[in-house]
Amino acid sequence: MKDLKLPPLQRMWARCPHCGAKTVLYDNTAQCSGVHIKCTRGCKKEFELKIVNGKQVQ
Ligand SMILES: [Zn+2]
């Protein structure tokens, strides 16, 4: 039997590019574009959430 070890999931906060406030949680397997999020904790602006290979792109 082959022991397939998956890398552990790491969860990170996607941050608002305008003010740096935490918005949503994603993990290191995430891929995302075309998702628009409103910054509710900070500046209240909308931004597009882009995640490539588990990293937020701003
Ligand atoms: Zn903000």
What residues have their beta carbon closer than 5 A to ion ligand 1? 16, 18-19, 21, 39, 42-43
For 55-58, the CB contacts below 8 A with 24+ separation are: 55/28, 56/12, 56/14, 56/15, 56/26, 58/17
Residue at 6 is within a domain = no
d(CA 11, CA 54): 9
Q: Is residue 38 domain-resident?
A: yes
3 belongs to a structural domain: no
Domain-embedded: residue 2: no
- What is the distance in A from the centroid of ligand 1 to the CA of 7? 31
Question: What's the pLDDT at 37?
Answer: 97
Whether residue 34 is contained in a domain is answered as: yes
Q: Residue 17's domain spans which residues?
A: 11-57
Q: Is residue 32 part of a domain?
A: yes
CA of 53 from ligand 1 middle (Å) equals: 23
**pLDDT value for 45:** 98
Note the pLDDT tens digit of each residue in 1-51: 667 777 788 999 999 999 999 999 999 999 999 999 999 999 999 999 999
- Is residue 44 in a domain? yes
Q: How far is the CA of 46 from the centre of ligand 1 (A)?
A: 8
